Structure 1
Amino acid sequence: MINVESFWINKKNRSYIKKEQISGPIKSEVLIKTIFSGISYGTEQIVYAGKVPKSEKKLMRCPYQVGDFGSDVKYGYLNIGKIIDGETKDIGKNVFTLYPHQNLFTINESEVSLIPRKIPLKRTLLTANMETAINALWDTLPTSGDKCVVIGAGIVGILMAYLLNSIIGVDVVIIDKDKKKKNIANLFDLNFDTSLSKTMRANFIYECSGDSKIINKLGKFTENEATICILSWYGTNQSRINFGEHYLSKRLNIIFSQVSKISKNRIKNWTNKTRRDFAINLLNNKKLDYLIDKNEIKFHKLPNFFKNSKNKNFFCKVVNYNK
């Protein structure tokens, strides 16, 4: 048996480090030693605060979650580690998996994504966020000539605008009420504003702010037949939308781009695994390092982080497993 330590959320607004034992890898499995894990702050804060809707407690489970929302739960899905044992030719290689915050774990080798040497390890913590942006792109299929607005200059919002900006002829602007976000937008050569222009008429709006109340306001900033794509997860927060106004007269489309499922536009040719590997390769840009928080969190300090965190910045939070 192997002694391991993992991070658990205990009901609401409480967490702890748990010591347990696991078996070594069996056939087709590998043993991974975690180097870094990442905190997907918006989602994990919803779990920590006990705000997962009752109706979604089964649907919103992450791949290697242990326990149930509302009770003790091991949750997380950004893990970078090294293969240290198993019947594999890849011993010693660095990998990305969707495993929670745990220092050692076994996993089926087919669920492991090898990290190319050209991609720095910590940058790979952006993989799941990049997948979210890719899926939204597949869900909406913007093309040259389209006007696109991204609401919220957090990690997902920046990555969404970054991908849109790579399409020739697409007009992109990212909106965030925090003026300081303009600096990060400038680093990615993105048009930025703190509010939507009264004359804005977008073909696509991507809601990445996490603010459920904003949806009702977006309709008047669209062209006819426009699409509003929602990448945020609002948890138990509610939104009131006046469907009898712009949403009706403009024949607007609303789509929730939930990343656990491949878009219907790509489902025939892609799997979650191939999309994940694709996302990792799209991280080959030094600019993306601007999205990584330089202040790392020690693994054993995770309970303190969640207890005291007020999310003063939007950067990807890095958990370091070096003692």
Structure 2
Amino acid sequence: MNVCASCFNDIELKSFIETHSKDKGRCDFCYDNDVEVVDLYELRDFFSEFFYLFIDDPDGEIFIDLIARDWNLFSHKSDGKVLLSEVLLLLACANYDPEKKVKYMPEIVESISYWEKLKLDLKWNRRFLTDISEIFDLGWDSYFNEQIVLPNETELYRARIHKNAGDIAFKVDEMGSPLKEKAASGRANPLGIPYLYLCKSIDTTFYEIRATFLDEISIGKFVIMFDHELVLVDFTEEVSAFKNMGTLMEYAKSRLLKKYISYDLSKPLRRYDSELEYIPTQFICEFIRYITGTDGIIFNSSLHQGGKNIVLFEQEKVVCVSVEKHQVTNVHIGFKASE
């Protein structure tokens, strides 16, 4: 059966189909005509390795739903269930039902579940003398090697809310990270250890500081200094199982672990939450800082769709070059029923 690139979301898989197609034809899954297609058999090796990540489990999750949630493999254009069923048949799987219940291999579960165990241990058992040997045994130190580099003159932004209406904009030297004596606990930084929290867009800064109607805000524009660059551990990389053929087991552990850490990094603290919730992410940022030697981390904003946040462990490589004062003129609040 023929399949086309439009049936998938995985960028590398789409590219493979487009470059390895020998001719155009009709896709047997989305029914597009005159498109680049390959025989589904050509994807057999990839799916064989990919399916090895899962085992049948009557108490697990529905297979097609788990793939959609964690891997975003199939596009809306194709019927993912039909395509998955055909692949299962192709591989002669004993159970080719795309809605069968599965879970990840024990090796994967062991690695990613340790994050929850570590969070509890840091909050309630041991904080300053945590045994990190298991982290190395699980290979976590290698999972933070996916890094991006921001070149000099990259523009980044930070916002500060004014305490009083009518105050003038903050000065450029007031937009950096606070003094150690004034550094409160943050999602990434411990009490007394200041990090610099930045965003890649001005819009995201308003969401991250939870600006409300008529708030007056100073927005500082930062640039990376000449002859410098920022090396950041990347929690935002585009998921691609196909790109990681041959090392999919390790990639799955890395991908899923960083997904859960990123969720905790971006999760806003509610007014009735304890600052104890910060401790696990503070720990992992300190681990990243000293193990990788990078300048910081980049992760997705949970408050602004498409927004990206950056945390710098030191601020010596960036400088605030200008500050503009803004006022919030409109706020939209979404809500849902809650028990």
Give TM-score scaled by structure 2 length. Answer: 0.26
Q: Which has the larger radius of gyration?
A: 2
Give TM-score scaled by structure 1 length. Answer: 0.27
Tell me which protein shows more strand as a share of its residues.
1
Tell me which protein shows more helix as a share of its residues.
2
